[in-house]
Structure 1
Amino acid sequence: MAKRPPRVVAELGRPETPEETAARKAANSVNYRQRQTLRNLLLALGASLLAVLVIVLLVPRSDTAIERDIDVAAVAEQAQVASDVPLAVPELPDGWRANAAELRSSSADQVTAWYAGYLTPSDEYIGMYQGLEANPTWVAALLERTIATGTITIDGVEWTVYDNRDSGDDVGNARYGLTTEAGDSTFVLLGTGTPEEFETIATALVPTIDAQR
């Protein structure tokens, strides 16, 4: 059988040398392996994305927003070991929910305060602060340094009112506020609730306030 003539490479205009043939085959082998590696990576990525999609579809979801309801009394009981002053736990009617409760320390004013945050029946916010041996600077900072607009007596307790609802200034959550003092405690209520909702929580604080007078 006649031997097949060497392959002529168009770019060279002559037959390949054995070395060039070996180099070409080696390069083709490398290119093939690279294409296979890329293909395998794409297949693996696709499989991973498919698995994630299946998990997302299988996990049950709810359109209802998850809202925390903190047991303020339980947190206060734990926090009480750090304070000689009884910590306030207002008993509020149905429709009120607590989303935070903790002892807070202000490094600027050196004041420790018992705090509980509430969502009102109208889905607004009211924060209750009980400052322990607080000072006017601490109160002013909480109320965004706004000016008192009057006083109100609620169930025998006189409160200073800070009504900033019509203010054009940025007062944060201090749209409305009430403050009063009893013994070593300074009570500050502030938030976006209605005045009636503020009266509800202020009334619930009366037993604690009376006990500290």
Structure 2
Amino acid sequence: MAKEPRIVAELGRPETPEETAARKAENSRKHRANQTAINLVLALAASLAIVLVLVLVVVRPTQPPRAAIDYASVAAREQPGVGEPLASPTLPPEWTANAATLDTGTDDITTWSIGFITPAEQFIALRQGIDANPTWLANRLDKLSPTGTEVIDGLEWAVYDNRDSRDPGNLAYAMSTSTGSSSFALYGTAETAEFLALATALSADLDGSAE
């Protein structure tokens, strides 16, 4: 028995063989398009899964620690060009330095800088400004106001405790003093005891330099 032609509701009559062929061709095209889109999505998901596995599984090499700097040797090398003794405090071997530089800024003030890593693996910067003015110190300490004082070996230090601020960064705690033609600023993330240890070693170094 022959199949009745499909009635096209919009036309109110059976569709012609040409219309049937066109309809089937369009349906086939839509099906292929849908399959292609689904395949693309699945392929993308599979690629992302592979990348994620590689990121999680592959062992990424750790960066080697930055080499310690012999700041005493750097200070001895730079000293002939400076009229003021450069600070070179003697510290226990648990203390290391990751930077030691002598620079002259746009303000024509020469600054000797050492970056210390403390035994507790915190950071303290030592800055020595030679013939520095008050602006130099204010800029080093981001214009912080002193919160107290500390006397170490007869040398008075201003203390800046900024730990309660929202984001103190490397200015969580600081100390400053002046002696001779030098102004000193210590600042960083270490505990108070490590700041006092560095300030004490610096005072001993300054006393030795004055002899």
The TM-score bracket by the shorter chain reads 0.5 to 0.7
Query: Any stretches of 5+ residues in structure 1 without a counterpart?
Result: none
Following superposition, the deviation at residue 3 of structure 1 comes to: 7.0
> Which residue among 101, 113, 118 is the counterpart of 1:115?
113
3-state secondary structure, aligned to 1:29? helix
- The question of whether the paired residues in 2 share the 8 Å contact of 1:73 and 1:89 is answered with no
Task: Name the TM-score, length of structure 2 as normaliser.
Answer: 0.65
Alignment of 1:1-213 (within 5 A): 6-60=5-59, 68-73=65-70, 77=74, 84-85=81-82, 88-98=87-97, 111=109, 113-143=111-141, 144-147=143-146, 149-150=148-149, 152-154=151-153, 159-165=155-161, 172=168, 173=171, 175-183=173-181, 185-205=182-202, 206-207=204-205, 211=209
Cα distance between partner residues in 1 of 2:205 and 2:132: 20
Q: Percent of aligned pairs with the same residue?
A: 41
Deviates more, 1:3-12 or 1:162-171: 162-171
Following superposition, the deviation at residue 45 of structure 1 comes to: 1.4
Cα distance between partner residues in 2 of 1:166 and 1:56: 39
- 1:201 maps to a residue whose letter is L
- 1:138 maps to a residue whose letter is W
- 1:27 maps to a residue whose letter is E
Cα distance between partner residues in 2 of 1:186 and 1:15: 101
Cα distance between partner residues in 2 of 1:13 and 1:212: 113
Deviates more, 1:158-167 or 1:174-183: 158-167
Cα distance between partner residues in 2 of 1:50 and 1:26: 36
Following superposition, the deviation at residue 29 of structure 1 comes to: 3.2
Task: Name the TM-score, length of structure 1 as normaliser.
Answer: 0.65
> Which string of whole-angstrom CA distances, capped at 9 and with x for unpartnered residues, describes residues 14-45 of structure 1?
22235533442342233123212212212221
Cα distance between partner residues in 2 of 1:112 and 1:37: 69
Cα distance between partner residues in 1 of 2:210 and 2:167: 30
